[in-house]
Amino acid sequence: MKVVNIKLIFLLIILILPLYNSVAENKVYDISNELMCPVCQGQTVAESNSQLALSMKEVVRIKVSEGKSKEEILDYFILQYGDTILAKPPIRGFNLLLWILPPGILVLSILLWIIRVKRNNKNRNK
């Protein structure tokens, strides 16, 4: 009976281990996808194959295996490289303008276009 129990436990470990590794790799990918590669133009660490990006992925992998949270890992890289390392800039300070300005310009353009169309319709009716 003990041998059967040991075999079942061993089998469960073998079946669960790949799932744990898959979850860890997904977390590594998600975090790497939020970091910009300092060497490559417009690529995240997850997309890049540069030596620096590969070493950054390894640091992320090590920190994930240590049980660090996503925020702790991102904070580590922000301390090393500054806010520019983030693929999505934080919504504060000057970056707030980067988040508000494009939608604001779009709304303003649509409003101006509507006003112009209405004026043209009024001029044609006269």
Provide the residue ranges of all domains of the chain, joining segments of one domain with +: 2-88, 92-126
Residue 9 pLDDT exceeds 90? no
For the record, the structure tokens of 25 come out as 């790799």
CATH number of 2-88: 1.10.8.640
CA angle 6, 14, 12 (to 5 degrees): 50
pTM as predicted: 0.61
Point out which residues pair with 86 in neighbouring strands: 35
Question: What was the pLDDT predicted at 22?
Answer: 61
Is residue 48 within 8 A of residue 57, CB to CB? The reply is no
- Segment 15-35 shows an average pLDDT of 75
Rounded CA separation 48/60 (Å): 14
- Segment 111-120 shows an average pLDDT of 92
* Residue 22 neighbours by CB under 8 Å, 6+ apart: none
